[in-house]
Amino acid sequence: MTLSITLVTVLAVTSALPSKQPASVVAASTAPSATTAGSSAVASETVPPTVDLVRLPLRPEAASVNEARVLLRKRDDAGALAKVAAVRAAAPQLLRARILRTGAAYDVTKPEVANGLDEALASAATDPVVAPWAAIEAAHLARFKKDFPTVVSTLAPYVDKPTSKAVARRVVVIYAQALANAAPAKLIANKGVYEPLLPTDDPDARSLFLDSLAIAYEKTGKTIDGRNVRLQRYLEEPVSTQTPEPPPKGVTLTDEQQIARAEKLAEAHRSERVLASLSALPDASLTPELVCRKAFAMGLAARKLRNYSEAETNLTRAMATCTDQDLKRRAHYLNAKVVSIFDGLRAVPIIDQFAKTYGNHSMVDDVLFWAGDLYQRRNVSQKAIEYYKRVEAMPEKGDNCGEARWRLAWMRYLAGDSSAARAGFEKVLVEDGCIQEVFDRSRAVYWLGRDAELRGDKAVATQRYSEVMQTDPLEFYAQLALARLMKLDSKAGAGIAGQFTLPQGAVPPLAIGALQGDTAYQRALDLLVRGLGEEAAAELMTVGVP
């Protein structure tokens, strides 16, 4: 939670802060940080260890960077360039270089643009905090010129011995592409070092990396190895838009390989492609286990496309052909779900058979709950209660135990049986492993408060509402409880609310505790005070959260 809030804050906070700052703040912010000065110390002098977002000590050049980025979001490249062109500090010059390199109105083959770009890159490289990001821009420019040796020499310090995971992740793909052309043997020798650096949030990164590796093998005369890597790319990275749709030349796929590839597509919810690739694969050529896997993948894809009848057909076929008990169970489970969606109570016999076959498996908890829900929605209360009690009675308390127990109480409440409902709400609070979420407890305590209020027991109602607030003050039922508490006893309500109110003028820190000791966190702060929020966010993405 802290890190996710931090990332949002980093991208937004600097543009929202005032451009002008007290001289004392500016002076403090321009002092070199420990990281800038090349010190091995972790602490940064640029910003204090606990960051007050209202008084974040931005450096003077941050204002021009923030203003330029606002204009870039409006697609005003010329206006953004005008904001940073004359500011000689490194961060504005980095942005100037990026605009000249990528802006639609600028052609880097023209001398005036090329000269301005070279000048901006040279200025950006003078600040050690900004220099790695300037190197990225320089590498992209060299790549555009097909100067692969320069790309390699520019990026080698940031990939071969990376000090910043954020920078390494940003450039490892283009570094591999350059190595494939300029130093293929090095790429082959270090493939195990470079591959772990690939960004996990880029679905194309590994596909492009494997393509570069295949090129490297081919350039060194290892054509069989190159073909094997291309096959690996085709089979393991089918989701990437960079992976060719046809299989590599000279390769005949086995039935198992085609199905395995389709399974990866199914996992990534590329359902149309799953059906297209497997529909043409005849069952007659497949082993029973491959028929099972094909049917399961097609059933999964049809379900995602909401073709429930087709999904049922394929999942039923998988249930009949699978010898792998795990896959057979999953097919049965999904079949029950699919039928419950499009044909309601017809799923109940499938659910009962699943429960009978798989006994105390954790999935049984789910299907029994579905049956209870099907009956509850149709106001067949007695059958719903029967299935919810079966969920509650399972030896291993599953994910649905808490909700089943809650519904048993709530159905009684709706039926007007306040005594039975009260007992049900109190049972929710029993520590027997059934209730695992704070939300479930808060909900039950809140309704115990409502019950006490209806009975005219103000003291119990006040105590219950206070308990909800103490359990999880920001949660939905806590806010409902606070509103009712303020009506019952405004003094008690104000007292509890005051416990969760920040003192006047106080601002929560950007990050606390162990995060402050991470060098990526310190680099992020150094970038942030220069106005480089996007680069700071990239660093924060690599911070190890305990």
DSSP string covering 117-151, please? HHHHHHHHTTSTTTHHHHHHHHHHHHHHTT-HHHH
| Per-residue model confidence (pLDDT) at position 500 | 67
- Which 3-state string (H, E, C) describes 483-541? HHHHHHCHHHHHHHHHHCCCCCCCCCCCCCHHHHHCHHHHHHHHHHCCCCHHHHHHHHC
Both tokens of residue 74?
């409006």
pLDDT at position 147 is: 97
What's the pLDDT score for residue 382?
A: 95
Contacts of 189 (CB under 8 A, 6+ apart): none
The C-alpha atoms of residue 434 and residue 429 are separated, in whole angstroms, by 9
Q: Is the pLDDT of residue 496 over 90?
A: no
CA dist., res. 348 & res. 342, Å (int): 13
Percent of the chain with pLDDT over 70: 86
pLDDT beyond 60 at 21 = no
Nearest to 31 by CA among 66, 57, 63, 53: 57
Question: The tokens 């590796």 sit on which residue?
Answer: 213
Among 67, 145, 163, smallest CA distance to 523 is for 163
Reply yes or no on whether the pLDDT at 28 is more than 50: no
> Which has the minimum average pLDDT: 88-102, 234-248, 447-461, 494-508?
494-508
Mention the CATH class of domain 253-358: mainly alpha
8 Å CB contact between 184 and 215: yes
- The enclosing H or E element of 411 equals helix 401-414
Distance (Å, whole) CA 125 – CA 91: 9
> Please, which pLDDT band fits residue 510 given cuts at 50, 70 and 90?
low
**φ/ψ (deg, to 5) at 249:** -60, 140
pLDDT tens for 245-284 read: 999 998 999 999 999 999 999 999 999 999 999 998 999 9
Query: pLDDT value at position 178?
Result: 98
Reply yes or no on whether the pLDDT at 133 is more than 90. Answer: yes
Confidence at residue 39, expressed as pLDDT on a 0 to 100 scale: 34
CA nearest to 391, candidates 362, 411, 414:
362
Q: What is the pLDDT of residues 167-181, one digit of tens each?
A: 999 999 999 999 999
Q: What is the pTM of this model?
A: 0.76
pLDDT at 307 over 70: yes
pLDDT tens digit sequence for 212-221: 999 999 999 9
DSSP 198: S
Mean pLDDT in residue range 280-292: 93
pLDDT in tens, 193-203: 999 999 999 99
- Burial environment of residue 90 by CB neighbours within 10 A (0 to 12, 13 to 18, 19 or more): buried
Lowest mean pLDDT: which of 32-36, 119-123, 177-181, 262-266?
A: 32-36
State the pLDDT at residue 473: 83
Q: Which of 17-26, 134-143, 277-286, 292-301 has the lowest mean pLDDT?
A: 17-26
pLDDT score recorded for residue 495: 75
Q: Which of 35-44, 147-156, 172-181, 362-371 has the lowest mean pLDDT?
A: 35-44
Q: Using the predicted structure, report yes or no on whether residue 23 has a pLDDT greater than 90.
A: no
What are the C-alpha distances in Å from 464 to residues 449, 459, 460? 5, 9, 6
**Contacting residues for 193 by C-beta, under 8 A, at least 6 apart:** 160
Q: What element of type H or E holds 192?
A: helix 191-194
| Segment 507-532 mean pLDDT | 78
Tens of pLDDT, residue by residue over 139-153, are 999 999 999 999 999
Q: Is the pLDDT of residue 370 over 80?
A: yes
Asked if residue 363 has pLDDT above 50, the reply is yes
Return the pLDDT at 3: 45
pLDDT of residue 497: 73
Average pLDDT estimate for 158-174: 96
Mean pLDDT, rounded, of the chain: 87
Please state the rounded mean pLDDT for residues 311-325.
95
pLDDT of residue 20: 39
Q: Which residues contact 300 (CB under 8 A, 6 or more apart)?
A: 266, 271, 274, 311, 334
pLDDT at 44 over 50: no
Lowest mean pLDDT among 51-60, 410-419, 480-489: 51-60
Tokens of 313: 């057909």
